[in-house]
Structure 1
């Protein structure tokens, strides 16, 4: 957890915090806090490389330059990074405090015990809420759904959306939430048990932004087709549920192919859980470091299996290849057997590795030690093989 004057400085403060604690940068001291950070943390690899070659390795050295000179030498992208190095956000947030009169409320008499009954009422609330926001030139990106039961139980949940909520998207999220409450699916993490029907529903906008409208493509592109596809995907998600199978990939940081992709439900903010670039926090050595040390080299495999495929990773004598505690293999790999590979596997024509990983060594429950090889099996099938506890698996295939 990190706290600072701006979002960028707060993000770096969170990186500098020790596990389980918060790093708080006092008000007005964000520039001093950022001054020791590497320019690689600015998120622009090309600019960071140029600044490093010019001898400007830290944000403090970069921020010491005159603003006109930065704009003239590095252009708009450099000016944006310059503002971040000074502790200023790229642009102030355009959020507005939702007026309290925009809250939409409906009383249910008799109390609703069925999802369809409550969802029908909620659909009308969603339509009216977004219509009133549109009249004011605003759009909603986060909404709070509240409900009360006949026995006085109070329920509330805040939903966030990637971009402005449409009537269909808002109605779908309200329906999912009502289904969770009335069927008891989402009450496991709450101290409330719904013991009666719902007597009140309320939708309150929690975060609103200016309604910017839609910018059509100038050099082509069918925006209408994209909108139709979006509506179709939203409809499919409505049938599957919010945590169904309709997800999109988001690139994030990690050392293995599986860690580098986060699957996000359709319509949710597409944000990584881990930063793509790992940057050393300020300390004795603030020089740039490569992203995610120990990560497997490019190229990334085309197919990554959710459940690795059982395999036999053998040496020339037919014995399993194992790895010592120091990461040394017992023998060069010579053959890979796996029932799911073409021909059940075969002789290894080429290989590189191993890369020894000791993941989450500080947590006994989730710690994982393994070694990985990239191998090419005749006739030309490239695989990512992992050996853990003497057992081999195929984690991915390079198609």
Structure 2
């Protein structure tokens, strides 16, 4: 297998969208941590997984962007299209990585080296980005070969992998960071050291995740091939009237179609590892792309890849985008694995370590399908669930988002709320805050100055007709003359100490309210 890899693709895509030159350090953040950065940023000390504050302290002129899978997929379509002009069977693994079968193409171009040179030149000319190419047996080894720029001879995959550091197991989208860290702390520093362990010992100590990683470290495929023909009735198709020509509408429809596709496979005991997304526009244009996945696809995974592909199609450059909306969409399983590939060992529970019993998991899946059906009838806002957004206080951060959407405040949104209340949040947030009065040791009301300081240390609080001493306090300032102040109160009528969250507004006539209670 040949893998073409565009280094630091999320950072490259973000910079290209914003018009930022790559000679400037660039980093992409998710949940306030670096998920990708440019080579210039790495040269300044920025590393993947680093917190935003530390990254900016090391590189003050760092260009900061929020992670956006849709943006990455949309811009990567140009690279995939350039590869597709030279080689058939292109499969997008994730934005930034494509895989193709190498044997036929190498013979056509006169060898693997000639093929690699042609692909690199083609991508540079059409997409204007740099890339690296690697060849090896299996997707995992081929991806690492691309990162190191190696063309591994057949049968030598294990030898190529052996000296590589154990952290290479933690590839994007695999969630093996914990396993790689554990193996390193146990003294297994390289993939070869891990591969030298007996498989039965790995299974007894590390479970199914360890067995799959062990297969990869030995240069084998993660899963054995499924040697049976795929049933023809597993594909899912839907006709749209009116045709889809908006990304948000396509994303919503993709959720329902993804759940239907996954349920159909699960009912037959299958899971999908290569997904074909095919569309026909109102003008009869044929569109298609195959997505290869390291892990069996979940309903969310199917919906994400359909959404990314729609962004690639509908937001392509003029002359490359379809001339009409998508009238028909078909999801086809290009590669299947047995359903047991999704099951985990008994040591992690029948539900994959979620803490739910098997009946609970089935009920959860049924509820999910029911919610998707309700949303199909009433629209995305028909079913809402709780989520976290931006805000200074715990009540302000509460959001209601459509069920199935994953809302996390990005780095740009987090930066707007400097001075917000840190963790831990109050265990109980009051729907209607309680009025209160706070006094200093001299009996004067305590307020907040324009310079973001309390006028005096809080000493006593009057709450619910009862005066109580304040044993401890802290303050976080959310703007001019506003502060949230956790207070530790001495025992009252029930003689128990109590911690509350209070909000103060104003200086001369301060208004105090109690917003929540700590356990």
Q: Normalising to structure 2: TM-score of the pair?
A: 0.37
Structure whose residues are more often helix by fraction: 2
